[in-house]
Chain A
């Protein structure tokens, strides 16, 4: 068996269209995935980039032509675009840090066995099963300025004297969407970090205890370095997902009030649905992709991440 696997490994290094029988086999195995990804990801991506250079508007589909960088110029000149760019950074930064910290703490707590851990885990992991749109809707009603649950509780606990109209105030709206997003995202970090934690060999902790290390020292010298690759990859993934996550904001505030909670992806949606301007929406999409591309490259270089696949 070993030698045959070695043969496979050796031949995998060859260019893909070699006429060896293993090459063909590998190609056929990959074919369904290539086809699916091409149809559902690469083709729309290509079409979208093309659309960004056309005046594609639903108002008159018979009059589509290439207009160069007009869409980009129009979008970059809009105040709402600049605001949504700034909001995107707040959104990502202030959602990511709490999610990461709280998720990490939750994972540490769930690592040890205790009674009812299974049920507790189920509750913690539940938000991930819900759709972002639904979460936004629920939070929207909870935050209702007159009849919402949150105001009701705060009033009863005498923390505030008058109900707060959360969604009527730009700052509170931003805080609200971030809180809802943190509630949603803790789950992802908890799951991934818990999985990584469970792969740390116990011998390391035993050895550390024998050397007299306390909990804090164990945490920073053993736990965190060991799961660092996991943390790096999950953080990168989360940043990309958070930036691309319009569902929650769309249903919670629809980018309001006065566009103050718009991020790039919800702004793109608004251009699409309300403005029916596919060309400009595609331009925003292209800008979004470029942003994320540069971020990913920079991030991976900065974290010297060369152990892909290790988690």
Chain B
């Protein structure tokens, strides 16, 4: 009896053991050419959202119809960890064909040779010539070579409650000083109304960044945006002190006290639920606001200008499609990227995803010329009043700075850190970064 049982158990152990070995083998052994001779492309997105995944799948189906020999598998990791997932897949040398590349990750990916230099393809691509300057600038940010084709621009604009402003006899603010004044006037805690959706939580350094850039304007060094044209760290200037004054004032006098820990979801929710009068955010909010708020109660306006400089300045965040270096079907992958980046397809994507399209022809489309997107068109039409600067992604410590600044900003708002100490700390940090730069 026992002998039989033993034999059975040995068999089961061996089977289980084989199963583990098989299961642990890398997934690159999966076939990318299925039996009927079709090429299977694997595409990974990172700024995932259910609505966008549906939209992408729709466009990919269209691509598959036009290219019957190619099938596309779309992989959509959840938003919060998507970039890490992509990094891990690339570190494991998985044969991803098309992937979402962002201006924050392009330097990483190109340094580590994870993505292809697309110049051999773009030199033969007609649609390259109709891209806007901002897009070409974003695409070639690393070594002047195109490592990805952006699908749109993420620029911030001002969202405001038109009805509250009209009620109070105010018009949309054009400078930061006006914004703070208007916000204070519209704040009424008893009615649970506040002037501004403040971002004190995750992502707050972005706001200090573009506020400082706006206040310093053209004094910011073009290719080294955290330093001025004189070579000083941008935090080591009187304008930076003004920025922090405005920043802290805005929090203390015109924002919900809770907002010291607010990040994207709470900011947007604050605006769309009628708690705050103003919000500075990306164009994706347009769709959310349109769905949740009554027409006519809100509108968009260009980004407020810095008071001393008279200009506004922000990063033109781009994200787009690149080709994985370990892809086994680079020609087909390029076909997909070119398809998604063509004027008609990109216009469709931008409209449904609330982004600014990449080709010059889009400015003629009424959807973008009028309505909620008009603030972007206005900003793009006056490039010397609304400047673009580049985030310093070529500095190794940029990620560390943002992590540190997030905590410092909260300490500043809670009164645990003085403005002078914060500026001194950040100045020291960037001085060291400059010295260590290879």
Task: Please give the residue numbers on chain A whose beta carbons come within 8 Å of chain B beta carbons, in ascending order.
Answer: 4, 25, 28-29, 31-32, 35-36, 39, 57-62, 80, 144-147, 165-170, 173, 253-259, 270-271, 273-277
Contact = CB atoms under 8 A, between A and B. Distances in A.
Given A31-B17, A35-B17, A276-B108, 18 more contacts: A25-B9, A32-B16, A59-B399, A60-B396, A145-B257, A146-B270, A147-B273, A165-B256, A168-B259, A253-B261, A254-B263, A256-B407, A257-B261, A258-B407, A259-B407, A274-B402, A274-B403, A275-B400
B4 interface: no
A259 B16 CA distance: 46
Instruction: With a 10 A CB-CB cut-off, give which of B261, B273, B400 has the most chain A CB atoms.
Output: B261
Contacts of B399: 59, 274-277
Given A60-B112, A62-B112, A147-B275, A270 B260 contact: no
A253 B407 CA distance: 12
B6 interface: yes
Given A57-B396, A165-B257, A275-B399, A32 B13 contact: yes
Contacts of A276: 108, 399
Interface string B170-211: 000000000000000000000010000000111000000000
A169 B260 CA distance: 9
B10 interface: yes
Contacts of A271: 403
Given A31-B13, A168-B258, A257 B111 contact: no
Contacts of B107: 59
A254 B262 CA distance: 11
A207 B360 CA distance: 91
Interface of B: 2, 6, 9-10, 13-14, 16-17, 20-21, 24, 84, 87, 91, 107-108, 111-113, 192, 200-202, 256-261, 263, 266, 269-270, 273, 275, 396, 399-400, 402-403, 406-408, 410-411, 413-414, 416-417
Instruction: With a 10 A CB-CB cut-off, give which of B20, B108, B201, B399 has the most chain A CB atoms.
Output: B399
B407 to A, nearest CB: 4
A274 B192 CA distance: 34
Given A144-B266, A258-B416, A167 B273 contact: no
B188 to A, nearest CB: 13
A36 B21 CA distance: 10
Contacts of B260: 165, 167-168, 256-257
A169 B113 CA distance: 44
Given A31-B17, A59-B111, A165 B258 contact: yes
B410 A258 contact: yes
B83 to A, nearest CB: 9
B410 A257 contact: yes
A228 to B, nearest CB: 36
Nearest to A133: B80
A233 B385 CA distance: 67
A39 B24 contact: yes
A21 B20 CA distance: 24
B112 A32 contact: no
A254 B202 contact: yes
B10 A25 contact: yes
Contacts, number: 113
Nearest to A262: B407
A28 B10 CA distance: 7
A220 B87 CA distance: 56
Contact of A59 (B21, B257, B396, B417): B396
Nearest to B6: A25
B268 to A, nearest CB: 13
A256 to B, nearest CB: 5
Given A62-B111, A147-B275, A29 B13 contact: yes
A258 B108 contact: no
A166 B406 CA distance: 19
Nearest to B91: A61
A92 B292 CA distance: 42
Given A60-B111, A275-B403, A168 B261 contact: yes
Given A145-B257, A277-B400, A80 B407 contact: yes
Contacts of A277: 399-400
A61 B110 CA distance: 11
A147 B268 CA distance: 13
Contacts of B275: 146-147
A32 B20 contact: yes
Contacts of B411: 258-259
B261 A29 contact: no
B258 A144 contact: yes
A4 B2 contact: yes
A202 to B, nearest CB: 37
16 contacts: A28-B10, A59-B107, A59-B396, A80-B407, A146-B275, A165-B257, A168-B259, A168-B260, A168-B414, A170-B414, A257-B260, A258-B407, A258-B408, A274-B406, A275-B399, A277-B399
Given A168-B261, A253-B261, A257-B261, A146 B112 contact: no
A107 B189 CA distance: 45
A275 B407 CA distance: 13
Contacts of A145: 256-258
Contacts of A36: 20
Contacts of A270: 403
B84 A146 contact: no
A57 B108 CA distance: 10
Given A36-B20, A256-B407, A259-B407, A28 B14 contact: yes
A174 to B, nearest CB: 13
Contacts of A62: 111-113
Contacts of A167: 258, 260-261
Contacts of A35: 17, 20-21
Nearest to A167: B261
Contacts of A146: 192, 256, 258, 270, 275
Given A28-B13, A258-B407, A58 B108 contact: yes
Nearest to B90: A61
A144 B256 CA distance: 11
Given A59-B108, A144-B266, A146-B270, A256 B261 contact: yes
